[in-house]
Amino acid sequence: MIALEGRARRLGDNINTDYIISSARKRDTIDEHVLKQWLLEHVDAGFAASVQPGDIIVAGKNFGCGSAMEVAVTVILAAGIKAVIAQSFSRTFFRNAINNGLVPVQCDTSKFEEGDTLSVRLDGSTPVVVNFTKELTIAAEPIPEVMLRILESGGIVQQLKIHRLLAASHSTQPS
């Protein structure tokens, strides 16, 4: 069970991974605690300084498009953000998020604004988002079982450590 509460940080459509953290910044370090000072620098120069642990990113469609670079996920986590709610995600970002325990929630974010008070609960496969400011409760897109298992094990590192194989006791394998 995952239960998060926080303040919405509103972003737009097609936020690519280079905007989350630029390729040039990560050339000399992949330490997310160093890189977080440049989080979203070309979208909002004040973002990194104003981010607070517990903040929840809210975005439009195709969040995390472009490069598959995984620091785009780890740098968000390093800033204390544990969930991203978006209209849709690019597939590589979605995978990387699940693999590292960042909760990617897909739902209609059109009414969400900067500063809204939000909660995200994941109990089972369907995340439930509450926007207290707008008095909205939204059942988000269910997270596929294969991803839920990874998220619930605490990420792909834990899953591999425990099972050694992706295929271990998996229901999608031929019976």
DSSP 142: P
Counted residue by residue, the chain has a size of 175
CA-CA distance, 7 to 90, in Å (whole number)? 23
- Give yes or no for residue 110 binding other proteins (CB under 8 A): no
- Give yes or no for residue 153 binding other proteins (CB under 8 A): no
Strand-pairing partners, residue 119, are 5, 130
Count of Cβ atoms closer than 10 Å to residue 92 Cβ: 18
Q: Looking at 76-84, 107-115, 132-140, 141-149, which segment touches other proteins (CB under 8 A)?
A: 141-149
110-133 per-residue burial string, b: 16 or more CB within 10 A, e: under 16: eebeeebebbbebeeeebbbbbee
**CB-wise, 92 or 131, nearer to other proteins?**
92
Give least dist CB 105 to other proteins, A.
16
- Give yes or no for residue 19 binding other proteins (CB under 8 A): yes
Q: Looking at 18-26, 49-57, 105-113, 119-127, which segment touches other proteins (CB under 8 A)?
A: 18-26
10 Å CB burial of residue 7 (0-12, 13-18, 19+) is middle
- Give yes or no for residue 133 binding other proteins (CB under 8 A): no
Between the alpha carbon of residue 157 and those of residues 30, 34, 149, the distances in Å are 17, 22, 12
- Using an 8 Å Cβ cutoff, are 150 and 99 in contact? yes
Q: Looking at 69-77, 111-119, 121-129, 130-138, which segment touches other proteins (CB under 8 A)?
A: 69-77
**CB-wise, 5 or 141, nearer to other proteins?**
141
The single residue among 1, 27, 50, 135 that binds other proteins, judged by CB under 8 A, is 27
- Give yes or no for residue 111 binding other proteins (CB under 8 A): no
Residues at the site binding other proteins, with contacts judged by CB under 8 A: 14, 16, 18-19, 22-24, 26-30, 42, 61-62, 65-71, 73, 88, 90-92, 95-96, 99-100, 144-146, 155-157, 160-161, 164-167, 170, 172-174
